[in-house]
Amino acid sequence: MSQRFSVAVHILALLASEPSKLLTSEWIASSVNTNAVVVRRLLGLLRRAGWVKTRAGREGGFELAVDPSALTLREVYQAVEEGRIIGIHAAPNPRCPVGSCIGAALGSVVASAQEAMLAELGKRSLADVVKELSVRRERKG
């Protein structure tokens, strides 16, 4: 199962909690506990979406380029995790009355289920996540 959404939110939360600071992929990778290339791959997607700015070369790194309260988790999910959640079998028998229509019927079911999930993600912004992190941190002491 893909962890891209999870890691992407982690990365964005890091960038949001260190605004206008350049973080290197190596530094981010040590927080996520993964390889720096994995981080750069994901940040490539976020950069193309316009949410992150990059500076190459010495003293380079990544920084957030949007207001965290204007970026929903739905957008993040859709940027890094493409396609459908629920697979539909491709080629049922068209000569069977069920087989010939099940694809279309399931398509609408799956679409509405996926939209419900995305709508729920759309209720939360990156700022909400950052805020929740600080609350949880305080609780720990």
Decide if residue 109 touches a second copy (CB under 8 A): yes
Residue 2 CB, nearest distance to a second copy (Å)?
5
Long-range Cβ contacts of 99-106 (<8 Å, 24+ apart): none
Neighbours of 53 (CB within 10 A): 14
Closest C-alpha to 64, from 74, 73, 53: 53
Instruction: Classify 81 as helix, strand or coil.
Output: coil
Decide if residue 37 touches a second copy (CB under 8 A): no
Which secondary-structure segment (H or E) carries 64?
A: strand 61-64
Residue 66 vs 77, nearer CB to a second copy? 77
Residue 3 vs 127, nearer CB to DNA? 3
31 binds, among DNA, a second copy, none (CB under 5 to 8 A by kind): a second copy
Q: Identify the residue among 31, 55, 67, 82 touching a second copy (CB under 8 A).
A: 31
